[in-house]
Amino acid sequence: MTDKESMQDNRNHASDHERTSSERGASEPGRADRRRRVVITGLGVKTPAGCDLKTFTKTIFAGMPTAAPATRFDTTGLPSKIACQVDDFDPGRYMSGKELRRTDRTAQLGFAAAMDAVADAGQPSADHGRAGIVSGVALGGMQSICDQALVAHTKGGAAISPMSVPKILFNAPGALISQELAWRGPNITIATACASGSDAIGMGARYVQDGTADVILAGACDSGGVTLVIIGAFGHSGGLSTRNDDPAHACRPFDADRDGYIMGEGAAYLVLEERDRALARGAHMYGEVIGYASGCDAHHITAPQPQGRWTSQLMMAAISDAGLVPDDIRQVNCHATGTPLGDAAEAAALRAVFADRQPPVTSCKGVFGHLVAASGAAEAAVAALSARDGLVPPTAGHERLGADCHGIDVVAGEPRRVAPGPALSNSFGLGGQNASIVLAPPPQD
């Protein structure tokens, strides 16, 4: 299939989805008015780009890469020896010594980011039965699993710690958060690989939209990517950049010389609140979640569908869910990790959706690496700020557009001013797990 035929095929699939959505009433005028509106009233981040919102924002919009040599383990024999680590994080500021001993770093990052988000939202009071948590986790307590496997191998089964169980549970972050806040509403953990963060925000917004909850703390956390086993596995599979002598320029989203991504760790949580409730309490609003779609390539366990056929349909579904058309989208925060196959497939999907009116696009992974489950949540925070301020952050590491990514408008070098308006944020994960969300500036009505 030629590139031209692929684009037309993608457009046909996107058009088919539009017709199907319309027939279901998904893009009917006024649909959004029939469901409760969801605003973002708090943001909390613990990432390589910063552990507070001010530092995080400054680093992202300056396009400052954070990759450096991995320091937590011996990198001898690894193809990739670099990572994006959260080096300035002190979990002791948020948890007691007892809690620290019972938790993996993934849960510690998530708990801290969630507490910051709640504080940033002004400690929203609510009926605790109508306040909930939706967390995304992909690699979970990987370091704790590795540690105990080593203990069992060297010291025998008698030495295995009983604290291993709470450390490796995927729902540990959500459980810790709910116990701290006494929130008894939905407490869901989503594991859709690299799409987990976006799915968590989209599902959290659904709970508020349909009236199940009034407040949802939605986000994701992951530290398992910065472990010997995972960096070794992804490195030997050819997925990671091997520019060990130049970490700052190793990850190159959409670039002609891209050779893979950089593993990272982190967490980001957003407080999602019903709009009228937020207005009534005078809450500060960062933006609004107006569209969401989730789907699967059903193609391959690690590789994307090459022509981006189903990801283009997914983006159209999210845009339709927001009651918009592609021309309404002012910018796209891409999943683009810097891999040859993944970036090319996303570029193909962008061409199919936006045709000759391509919005400016960016990728945050050149700054903070691939945070696995947490990527989509951190990128959603960036997209919300970008939509509000009309400013697209530069794609760190990008210098020359790859021929296989032709036709898209990548922002690089410095931020670009655009009119404030809806932003699309994409997350595409292993196993073909994909999610897109649409974020808009704070409502004026």
- Per-residue pLDDT tens over the stretch 150-182: 999 999 999 999 999 999 999 999 999 999 999
Q: Compute the average pLDDT of residues 218-243.
A: 97
Side chain identity, residue 334: C
Q: Compute the average pLDDT of residues 205-212.
A: 97
Cα–Cα–Cα angle for 298, 304, 309, nearest 5°?
Answer: 75
pLDDT for 216 beyond 70:
yes
- CA-CA distance, 239 to 275, in Å (whole number)? 42
Superfamily of domain covering 3-440: Thiolase/Chalcone synthase (3.40.47.10)
Report the predicted TM-score, pTM, of the whole model to 2 decimal places.
Answer: 0.92
Nearest by Cα to 66 from 444, 366, 339 = 366
CA atoms lying within 13 Å on the CB side of residue 363: 30
Which of 335, 364, 398, 405 is an active site residue? 335
Q: What tens digit of pLDDT does each residue of 40-50 get?
A: 999 999 999 99
Q: Compute the average pLDDT of residues 375-394.
A: 98
Side chain identity, residue 388: R
DSSP symbol at 132: E
Nearest by Cα to 253 from 358, 378, 337 = 337
Cα–Cα–Cα angle for 8, 16, 36, nearest 5°?
Answer: 125
Q: What is the pLDDT of residue 306?
A: 85
Nearest by Cα to 303 from 356, 346, 263, 274 = 346
Active site residue 370: yes
Which of 13, 17, 249, 370 is an active site residue? 370
Active site residue 128: no
- CA-CA distance, 160 to 171, in Å (whole number)? 21
| Annotated domain spans of the chain | 3-440
Active site residue 236: no
Q: What tens digit of pLDDT does each residue of 23-79 get?
A: 333 333 334 457 999 999 999 999 999 999 999 999 999 999 999 999 999 999 999
Sheet arrangement for strand 287-296: 187-190, 131-136, 215-222, 266-274, 38-46, 287-296, 433-440, 423-428, 331-333, 360-362, 409-410
Q: What tens digit of pLDDT does each residue of 267-285 get?
A: 999 999 999 999 999 999 9
- Are 44 and 116 in contact by the 8 Å Cβ rule? The answer is yes
